[in-house]
């Protein structure tokens, strides 16, 4: 009973951690504006990069990723101190991490209107499976460098993660992790459905880390 109560408390904590609207609070604190009224209107790292620049975007990206990583790591702590076994640990990693992502998507501190959750998902998968996460990031970067669409790069990166697990690139994987990987892909596709439409129409905004010469 005590362990169940602890898991429930950690679950609430992870959701509230994910609910921290980093981009909104950062924009208000340092620029005196609501990021949701500028650029794409999205309260996430990509729009922060676009509106406030690389420094602000990087800070928001790192904090949002940290939310996912730290929430997921709570399950590892329970495993390390002997409260749960390895299989339960992996299950709780997925639950805790996803609650942080859910908090980012539907933040309690921001009228349940958040970002697209990619940075928080990134932090989560880095904690969940570092090797697969690294290759997913690599595919994200390659796609972004070629096409300059953050949305497309996010979709490709999200597809990479479950495919690597499905084909057991790093050895035998837990079925739950593979299922979750494809769920993540579906979630990213859903949150980027408007971006997909704009890409097909040729109206999606491109981003460049190195500004193009006029």
Q: List, for residues 101-119, the tens digit of each pLDDT value.
A: 999 999 999 889 888 999 9
pTM of the entire predicted model? 0.92
Grade residue 214 by pLDDT with cuts at 50, 70 and 90. very low
Q: What is the pLDDT of residue 129?
A: 95
Q: Is the pLDDT of residue 5 over 90?
A: yes
Where do the domains of the chain lie? 1-128, 130-214
- The Cα diameter of the chain in Å comes to 65
Arithmetic mean of pLDDT, 164-186: 94
The C-alpha torsion from 153 through 19 and 65 to 182, rounded to 10°, is -50
Secondary structure of the chain in HEC code, one letter for each residue: CHHHHHHHHHHHHHHHHHCCCHHHHHHHHHHCCCHHHCCCCCCCHHHHHHHHCHHHHHHHHHHHHHHHHHHHHHHHHHHHCCCCCHHHHHHHHHHHHHHHHHHHHCCHHHCCCCCCCHHHHHHHHHHHCHHHHHHHHHHHHHHHHHHCCHHHHHHHHHHHHHHHHHCCCCCCCCHHHHHHHHHHHHHHHHHCHHHHHHHHHCCCCCCCCCCCCC
Mean pLDDT across the chain: 93
Percent with pLDDT over 90 in the chain = 88
Q: How far apart are CA 107 and CA 85, in angstroms?
A: 31
């Amino acid at each position: 009973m005590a362990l169940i109560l602890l898991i429930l408390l950690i679950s609430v904590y992870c959701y509230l951690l994910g609910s921290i609207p980093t981009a909104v609070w950062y924009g208000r604190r340092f620029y005196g504006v609501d990021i949701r009224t500028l650029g794409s209107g999205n309260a996430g790292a990509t729009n922060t990069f676009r509106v406030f620049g690389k420094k602000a975007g990087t800070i928001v990206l790192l904090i949002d990723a940290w939310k996912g990583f730290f929430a997921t790591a709570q399950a590892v702590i329970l495993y390390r101190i002997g409260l749960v076994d390895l299989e339960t640990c992996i299950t709780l990693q997925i639950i805790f991490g996803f609650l942080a992502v859910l908090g980012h998507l539907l933040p309690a501190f921001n009228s349940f209107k958040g970002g697209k959750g990619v940075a928080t998902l990134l932090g989560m998968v880095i904690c969940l499976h570092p090797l697969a996460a690294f290759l997913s990031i690599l595919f994200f970067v390659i796609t972004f460098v070629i096409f300059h669409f953050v949305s497309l790069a996010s979709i490709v990166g999200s597809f990479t993660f479950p495919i690597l697990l499905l084909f057991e690139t790093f050895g035998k994987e837990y079925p739950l992790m593979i299922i979750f990987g494809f769920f993540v892909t579906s979630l990213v596709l859903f949150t980027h459905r408007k971006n997909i439409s704009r890409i097909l129409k040729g109206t999606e905004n491109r981003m460049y880390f190195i500004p193009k010469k006029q």
